[in-house]
Chains A and B, each alone.
Chain A
């Protein structure tokens, strides 16, 4: 039986400081985040106790892999909405809190954008005259440098990792037709003779391996990082590095919703039961082939000798998913209502891509961006390599509302704007992020540190007291609201918890 897919998104934003003599991206990222957290009452720092990014899902640890403690001088904050906001390498990164369904993922991903936009405003008040920050929610600088948007899915530890790899790879390669954020040109060393003026995704150019632990070089389509941030005897967290950052709410909804569903199907061995295997002959080459195929007509070869287009393979996945839903239900992906909405939109988007991709100009990022770029190119008689088109590509992703081209594209909204504002400070109610966020709202001055699976209290006497949260679906509003309402101090809370 598939387990509930607890979900999260981590986004590294692109950043530049303009007008500075030394445009250092690490300093710029720190300035940005510091400006934001300085306006909050008190910053609670991240606790690295349980970070093991070098652990591999295939069952071994890599020599020399270290938790990011080497960078602890960098800004690293936990927010009252349960999110983590920090400097990762040379980028500001926002990790959503744990979410129990895809609606919350879309909500907190958008709240993240708003937090970054507010950070840019806050930084503008503290920067010297003539300097300003530009922050983009994209994944490439157009010059061969990429930074990631990572999805996280809670999975059953008992599942053989090789089975995940086998059945999720074809979905990762072919879902690009609706997850892509679009990009002018290519950054791949070779395109196999294809003239790439525009492609579906930001990221396809950067994947060189099928399976592996890396995220920064020789990037694999299936990442093996094994760091569950919860009970590792019961769970694994599938860390997905292959996707684009989406501006479109519909695209984020489908990216995470369809993938959660496919992963549930894998947990219930649905592909094997249905006698279906879409294993690709050459996944890495197919990633690019799909991304370069704006016409959605080029078939990719399967290991069994067949070939089909990405669109055809997505129809096959949807067909299997529908049968799965009928037979097994949709409890693992947020219940029937949410799961059926994923299925309904999945079908709608595939039908649109089949009949006329331009009909999805209000739903999909790559289509919206393509229309803008093609329209602008025609109006001004520009060549495809014009810097104006490259600028337009970048500016689609600008987090500043006054500069964002996404904000002008008339995209369909799934969220009430007021709920996004609330999610900047309020945690989701149906995961342990609720406990984390509520404790931070009330007792930030008594919290020494927090991370995904614990909150550490400092009550002014030794030792510090750690409240473990090894179950992502405990510590919800239903579990702890009454308890939190009945205590008047963190000491009382800890007594009641027996910590």
Chain B
């Protein structure tokens, strides 16, 4: 789709136009893995102690 290609090539006009963006994908694989490992460590710490009981007890009435 030619139109679509055109859209994507239009440079975004932002204040940081001159600054090089560092998209998440350009991070090294190891760096991403380390980040995720840290996050998973944290999840282990804060996840409800008894996950099964928590999930079973979490019953809502429909709303709206």
| Contact (A315, B4) CB under 8 Å given A390-B55, A403-B46, A408-B39 | yes
Find out whether the CB atom of A359 lies under 8 angstroms from the CB atom of B23: yes
Near A by CB (< 8 A), chain B positions 44-64 give: 46-48, 51-52, 54-64
Q: How far is the CA of A134 from the CA of B43 in the complex (A)?
A: 17
Find out whether the CB atom of A319 lies under 8 angstroms from the CB atom of B36: no
Find out whether the CB atom of B55 lies under 8 angstroms from the CB atom of A409: no
Taking the complex as formed, is A351 at the interface, i.e. its CB lies under 8 A from any CB of chain B? yes
| Contact (A359, B54) CB under 8 Å given A12-B64, A340-B13, A376-B43 | no
Q: How far is the CA of A90 from the CA of B14 in the complex (A)?
A: 44
User: Which of A141, A217, A409 has the largest count of B CB atoms less than 10 A from its CB?
Assistant: A141
Find out whether the CB atom of B43 lies under 8 angstroms from the CB atom of A215: no
Find out whether the CB atom of B58 lies under 8 angstroms from the CB atom of A147: no
Near B by CB (< 8 A), chain A positions 219-250 give: 219, 241
Interface flags for A60-92 (1: CB within 8 Å of B; 0: not) read: 000000000000000000000000000011110
CB contacts (< 8 Å) of B23 on chain A: these are 352, 359
| Contact (A405, B46) CB under 8 Å given A16-B57, A146-B62, A359-B25 | yes
Taking the complex as formed, is B28 at the interface, i.e. its CB lies under 8 A from any CB of chain A? no
CB contacts (< 8 Å) of A441 on chain B: these are none
| Contact (A375, B7) CB under 8 Å given A12-B64, A147-B63 | no
Task: Report the interface size class on chain A.
Answer: 35 or more
Taking the complex as formed, is A273 at the interface, i.e. its CB lies under 8 A from any CB of chain B? no
Q: How far is the CA of A29 from the CA of B48 in the complex (A)?
A: 21
Interface flags for B7-37 (1: CB within 8 Å of A; 0: not) read: 1101011100000000111000000000110
Find out whether the CB atom of B24 lies under 8 angstroms from the CB atom of A379: no
Q: How far is the CA of A376 from the CA of B45 in the complex (A)?
A: 12
Q: How far is the CA of A140 from the CA of B42 in the complex (A)?
A: 24
In angstroms, how far is the closest chain B Cβ from the Cβ of A255? Answer: 18
Taking the complex as formed, is A216 at the interface, i.e. its CB lies under 8 A from any CB of chain B? yes
In angstroms, how far is the closest chain A Cβ from the Cβ of B36? Answer: 5
| Contact (A409, B39) CB under 8 Å given A319-B7, A322-B7 | yes
| Contact (A215, B64) CB under 8 Å given A358-B25, A359-B23 | yes
Interface flags for A79-107 (1: CB within 8 Å of B; 0: not) read: 00000000011110100000000000000
Taking the complex as formed, is A394 at the interface, i.e. its CB lies under 8 A from any CB of chain B? yes
Find out whether the CB atom of A391 lies under 8 angstroms from the CB atom of B14: no
- A388's nearest neighbour on chain B, judged by CB, is B51
Q: How far is the CA of A344 from the CA of B4 in the complex (A)?
A: 14
Number of residues in B with C-beta < 8 Å to the partner?
A: 34
Find out whether the CB atom of A147 lies under 8 angstroms from the CB atom of B62: yes
- A404's nearest neighbour on chain B, judged by CB, is B46
Interface flags for A146-173 (1: CB within 8 Å of B; 0: not) read: 1110100000000000000000000000
CB contacts (< 8 Å) of B43 on chain A: these are 372, 376, 392, 405, 408
Taking the complex as formed, is A468 at the interface, i.e. its CB lies under 8 A from any CB of chain B? no
Find out whether the CB atom of A348 lies under 8 angstroms from the CB atom of B12: yes
CB contacts (< 8 Å) of A376 on chain B: these are 40, 43
CB contacts (< 8 Å) of B63 on chain A: these are 12, 88-91, 93, 146-148, 216
- B13's nearest neighbour on chain A, judged by CB, is A340
Find out whether the CB atom of B7 lies under 8 angstroms from the CB atom of A90: no
Find out whether the CB atom of B40 lies under 8 angstroms from the CB atom of A395: no
Taking the complex as formed, is A387 at the interface, i.e. its CB lies under 8 A from any CB of chain B? yes
Q: How far is the CA of A356 from the CA of B4 in the complex (A)?
A: 17
CB contacts (< 8 Å) of A405 on chain B: these are 43, 46
Find out whether the CB atom of A394 lies under 8 angstroms from the CB atom of B7: no
Q: How far is the CA of A143 from the CA of B63 in the complex (A)?
A: 14
Q: How far is the CA of A376 from the CA of B36 in the complex (A)?
A: 9
Cβ contact of B59, chosen from A141, A315, A319, A410, cutoff 8 A: A141
Find out whether the CB atom of B60 lies under 8 angstroms from the CB atom of A359: no
Q: How far is the CA of A212 from the CA of B28 in the complex (A)?
A: 49
Interface flags for A302-313 (1: CB within 8 Å of B; 0: not) read: 000000000010
Q: How far is the CA of A355 from the CA of B8 in the complex (A)?
A: 12
Q: How far is the CA of A379 from the CA of B3 in the complex (A)?
A: 43
Find out whether the CB atom of A14 lies under 8 angstroms from the CB atom of B48: no
CB contacts (< 8 Å) of B3 on chain A: these are 319
Q: List 26 A-B contacts (CB under 8 A).
A: A14-B60, A16-B58, A25-B60, A25-B61, A88-B64, A90-B60, A90-B63, A134-B58, A141-B58, A145-B61, A147-B61, A215-B64, A216-B63, A216-B64, A241-B64, A347-B8, A360-B24, A361-B24, A376-B40, A376-B43, A379-B40, A387-B51, A387-B56, A391-B51, A394-B54, A408-B42
Interface residues of A (CB under 8 A from B): 12, 14-16, 18, 23, 25, 88-91, 93, 134, 136, 140-143, 145-148, 150, 215-217, 219, 241, 312, 315-316, 318-319, 322, 340, 344, 347-348, 351-352, 355-356, 358-362, 371-372, 375-376, 379, 387-388, 390-392, 394-395, 402-403, 405, 408-410
- A-B pairs, 4 with minimum CB distance: A147-B63, A391-B51, A215-B64, A90-B61
Known A145-B61, A395-B48; 11 more pairs at CB < 8 Å = A12-B63, A141-B59, A147-B61, A147-B64, A148-B64, A150-B64, A315-B7, A387-B55, A394-B55, A405-B43, A408-B46
